[in-house]
Amino acid sequence: MKVGYRRVSTLEQSLDRQDLGECDRVFEEKQSAGSANRPALQELLSFVRSGDEVVVHSIDRLARNLMDLQNI
């Protein structure tokens, strides 16, 4: 399954520029990556299974830095 994740940092920003192509399911949120409370990311992590492909527009949409990415 191809699963997408789109995130912007503020409510005023638009998710529209983050084209992920065709995905079976997309999780979206308007939340700073610095926040520990990112419900859509937690939902995505609970949803994906071994063999699924997670797609993001750019890696900074998923994680703040390498350590954050490794924790995810």
- Residues annotated as catalytic are 9
Q: What token pair was written down for 68?
A: 């954050």
Task: Give me the sheet containing 25-30, strands edge to edge.
Answer: 25-30, 2-8, 53-56
H/E stretch holding 8 reads strand 2-8
